[in-house]
Amino acid sequence: VVGIVGVLRSWKGHSDLIRAFAKMRQQVPGARLIIVGEGVQRPFIEAQIAECKLQEIAILTGYQKDPAPFIKAMDVVVLPSYANEATSQVLPQAMAMRRAVISTDIGGLPEVVINEKTGLVVPPRDIDALYSRLLALQRDPNLRHALANSGYEHVQSNFTFEGMIEKTEAV
């Protein structure tokens, strides 16, 4: 199960994820897609899901006050933003739940995801790279688990509430 959590805005990369997922699904027929969030891009995303013939296996949950149960259902959490990304709240939350993550290197995302250590990083708007990374995580559960565990340790060391307060007070 591959998923994304975020407001349905163009720059969050939902469209890129849908295209990469559709390509990956040709190799992994049992794969499923969960999109958690609501926003102005919903009609476009629904149309793209239909165009890619993913209606039967893609779930759009709409806005969820508590996305944790959906993140727990995901094997891989993706945030393929290509602009306007400050610091992600979703990626550390996913990593704290021991989920493998894929992101781009936009804005503050590299502070959370260290490529091939705490997750995988792809260039923005690179659907082929995203497809390749999705496929790698689907085919190699050991890699997926290793990244999830390393990501968990990274979050516990750097992104707990107490740790962030301490860092802020130190500044």
pLDDT-derived band of residue 54, with 50, 70 and 90 as boundaries? very high
Rounded-to-integer distance, Cα 145 and Cα 57, Å: 24
Please check the confidence at residue 36 and state whether its pLDDT lies above 80: yes
Residue 164 in this model has a pLDDT that exceeds 80? no
Region of 78 please: left (phi>0), alpha (psi -120 to 50) or beta.
beta
pLDDT at 134: 98
Q: Which segment of 51-60, 84-93, 132-141, 156-165 scores lowest on mean pLDDT?
A: 156-165
Instruction: For residue range 118-151, list pLDDT tens digits in order.
Output: 999 999 999 999 999 999 999 999 999 999 999 9
Q: 38-47, 79-88, 156-165: which has the highest mean pLDDT? A: 38-47
Predicted confidence (pLDDT) per residue in 79-115, tens digit: 999 998 887 899 999 999 999 999 999 999 998 999 9
- At residue 131, the 3 state secondary structure works out as helix
SS3 87: coil
**From CA 36, how far away is CA 89, in angstroms rounded?**
14
3-state helix, strand, coil in the chain (%, to 5): 50, 15, 35
